[in-house]
C-alpha cells in the first residue's frame, strides 16, 4: 500500500510517499480502507520532534491520527460493527491507503468521508479543553485562534452547553466566527482592548500559540482558567498546556450526535492528495484556515 512516512525529524521535505506492507487490526481495533485523513497541527509538531512525550515513536514513522473510511478488518472482541461499515475515528499512520483505528464511531448519515476525517481529534480536543478550563453555563469563553478546526468545534460545543463565546481570528474570518454564534474580533495591535469592549471574559483558550498567554491571563484574571494547546511556554505563566493524546470513543459518539442534529459543522477548507502531504503541512503551519484540511486517499 501507499503510505506517507519520514525517516528523520525535520521540515515538510522529510515526508515521503512510499510503498510498504499493510497494517492489521489488533484486539479492540479495526482496520479501514482510508478514504480521507485529517491534517492536524500535531502532525507537523510530531514530524519536527516537538512533542514526543505525548506521542512517542520510533523512526522511520508514519504520519496522521485522524481518518474516515470503510472497515475491512475487525480485531478480536470488536462488537457492534461489521466489515463494510463507514466510520470515522483516531488511530496511527492515517496518511495511508489502510490504517488501524483505536477509537471510532459510525459516520453520521449525509456526511462525506472528507468532512468526517476532519472531526475526530479536533472534537476530542475541544471537549477535553472545555472541561479542563472549567467554563460553566452562563459564563463567557474567549478563544484565541478560533477559526481553525479545534476553534470551530469549541465555539459550537461551548454554545451548545450554554456558554457564550468570543473568538479572535483574521479579518477574513470574522463573518465565519459570527456564523458559529461567536462575538468576533481580530488579533493584532489593540486586540485586548477590543475583547474588553465585547464584555467580561471568564475563561480562555489559546489554540494558535501566537504568544498571547500573558494577555489571556490578564483578561481572565486567573491562570488556572486559561488552557493552551499550542504554546509550550504556557506553564511559565502558570497556565496548563494540554497536549495529551486522544482516542476517546465517547467524544466521537457525542460528535456524531451533534452532527446528526445539525448542532456541529466543521467545513473542509482544503483537500490534498497523498502525494501533497508536505504542502498540507506547510499550509497547516501557516495557519489562517477556516475549518479543516484533509488528505484524500
Taking only the tens place, the pLDDT of each residue in 112-148 is 999 999 999 889 899 999 999 999 999 999 999 998 8
Residues 215 and 167 in one domain: yes
CATH number at residue 6: 3.90.180.10
> Of the ranges 34-38, 45-49, 223-227, which one carries the lowest mean pLDDT score?
45-49
What is the per-residue pLDDT for 51? 66
Residues 180, 21: Cα–Cα separation, whole Å: 43
Burial grade of 31 (CB within 10 A; 0-12, 13-18, 19 or more)? buried
What is the per-residue pLDDT for 41? 85
Residues 171 and 274 in one domain: no
Model's pTM, two decimal places?
0.85
Q: What is the total residue count of the chain?
A: 297
Residues 113 and 131 in one domain: no
CATH number at residue 132: 3.40.50.720
Residues 94 and 139 in one domain: no
Q: Which residues contact 79 (CB under 8 A, 6 or more apart)?
A: none
pLDDT at 52 over 70: no
Q: Which residues contact 264 (CB under 8 A, 6 or more apart)?
A: 123, 153, 156, 157, 160, 255, 258
What is the per-residue pLDDT for 288? 65
Residues 162 and 139 in one domain: yes
Helix pair 277-286, 41-48: axis angle to 10 deg: 100
Query: For the chain, how are helix, strand and coil distributed in percent, rounded to 5?
Result: 35, 30, 40
- The last residue of one of the domains, among 198, 225, 241, is 241
Residues 209 and 282 in one domain: no
- The last residue of one of the domains, among 204, 224, 241, is 241
User: Would residue 261 count as lying in a domain?
Assistant: no
- For the chain, the first-to-last Cα distance in angstroms comes to 11
User: Would residue 140 count as lying in a domain?
Assistant: yes
User: Would residue 249 count as lying in a domain?
Assistant: no
Residues 198, 195: Cα–Cα separation, whole Å: 5
User: Would residue 44 count as lying in a domain?
Assistant: yes
Residues 222 and 148 in one domain: yes
Residues 79 and 172 in one domain: no
Instruction: For residue 183, count other CB atoms closer than 10 A to its CB.
Output: 16
| Tens digit of each residue's pLDDT (9 = 90 or more) over 145-159 | 998 889 999 999 999
- The last residue of one of the domains, among 224, 241, 258, is 241
Q: In the chain, how many domains are there?
A: 2
What is the per-residue pLDDT for 243? 75
User: Would residue 187 count as lying in a domain?
Assistant: yes
Q: Stretch 252-266: mean pLDDT, rounded?
A: 88
Q: Which residues contact 67 (CB under 8 A, 6 or more apart)?
A: 32, 34, 35, 36, 37, 38, 88, 89, 90, 91, 94, 99, 101, 117, 120
Residues 137 and 210 in one domain: yes
Per the structure, the complete domain to which residue 271 belongs is given by 2-118+266-296
User: Would residue 248 count as lying in a domain?
Assistant: no
Mean pLDDT, all residues of the chain? 92
Q: Which helix (H) or strand (E) holds 229?
A: none
Residues 184 and 215 in one domain: yes
Residues 149 and 227 in one domain: yes
What is the per-residue pLDDT for 246? 57
What is the per-residue pLDDT for 280? 96
What is the per-residue pLDDT for 187? 87
Q: Give residue 6's pLDDT band: very low, low, confident or very high (50, 70, 90).
A: very high
User: Would residue 235 count as lying in a domain?
Assistant: yes
pLDDT at 110 over 70: yes
User: Would residue 223 count as lying in a domain?
Assistant: yes
What is the per-residue pLDDT for 55? 62
Residues 74 and 161 in one domain: no
Helix pair 249-260, 149-160: axis angle to 10 deg: 70
pLDDT at 24 over 80: yes
Q: Stretch 56-66: mean pLDDT, rounded?
A: 90
| Tens digit of each residue's pLDDT (9 = 90 or more) over 207-255 | 988 889 999 999 999 999 999 998 889 999 999 998 765 566 788 888 8
Amino acid at each position: 500500500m501507499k503510505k506517507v512516512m519520514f525517516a528523520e525529524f525535520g521540515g515538510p521535505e522529510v515526508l515521503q510517499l512510499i510503498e510498504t506492507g499493510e497494517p492489521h487490526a489488533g484486539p479492540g481495533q479495526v482496520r479501514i480502507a482510508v478514504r480521507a485523513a485529517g491534517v492536524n497541527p500535531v502532525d507537523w509538531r510530531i514530524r519536527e520532534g516537538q512533542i514526543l512525550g505525548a506521542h512517542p515513536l520510533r523512526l522511520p514513522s508514519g504520519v496522521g491520527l485522524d481518518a474516515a473510511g470503510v472497515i475491512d478488518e475487525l480485531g478480536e472482541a470488536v462488537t457492534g460493527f461489521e466489515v463494510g461499515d463507514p466510520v470515522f475515528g483516531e488511530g496511527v499512520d492515517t496518511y495511508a491507503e489502510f490504517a488501524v483505528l483505536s477509537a471510532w464511531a459510525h459516520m453520521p448519515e449525509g456526511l462525506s468521508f472528507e468532512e468526517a476525517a476532519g472531526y475526530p481529534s479536533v472534537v476530542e480536543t475541544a471537549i477535553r479543553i472545555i472541561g479542563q478550563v472549567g467554563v460553566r453555563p452562563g459564563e463567557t469563553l474567549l478563544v484565541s485562534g478560533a477559526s481553525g478546526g479545534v476553534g470551530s468545534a469549541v465555539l459550537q460545543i461551548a454554545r451548545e452547553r450554554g456558554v457564550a463565546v468570543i473568538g479572535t481570528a483574521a479579518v477574513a474570518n470574522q463573518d465565519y466566527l459570527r456564523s458559529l454564534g461567536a462575538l468576533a474580533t481580530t488579533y493584532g495591535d489593540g486586540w485586548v482592548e477590543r475583547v474588553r469592549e465585547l464584555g467580561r471574559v471568564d475563561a480562555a483558550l489559546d489554540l494558535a500559540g501566537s504568544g498571547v498567554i500573558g494577555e489571556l491571563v490578564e483578561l481572565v484574571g486567573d491562570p488556572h482558567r486559561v488552557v493552551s494547546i499550542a504554546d509550550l511556554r504556557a506553564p511559565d505563566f502558570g497556565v496548563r498546556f494540554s497536549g495529551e493524546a486522544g482516542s476517546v470513543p465517547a467524544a466521537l459518539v457525542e460528535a456524531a450526535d451533534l452532527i446528526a442534529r445539525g448542532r456541529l459543522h466543521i467545513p473542509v477548507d482544503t483537500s490534498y492528495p497523498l502525494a501533497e502531504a508536505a504542502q498540507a503541512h506547510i499550509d497547516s503551519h501557516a495557519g489562517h484556515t477556516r475549518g479543516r484540511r484533509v488528505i484524500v486517499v
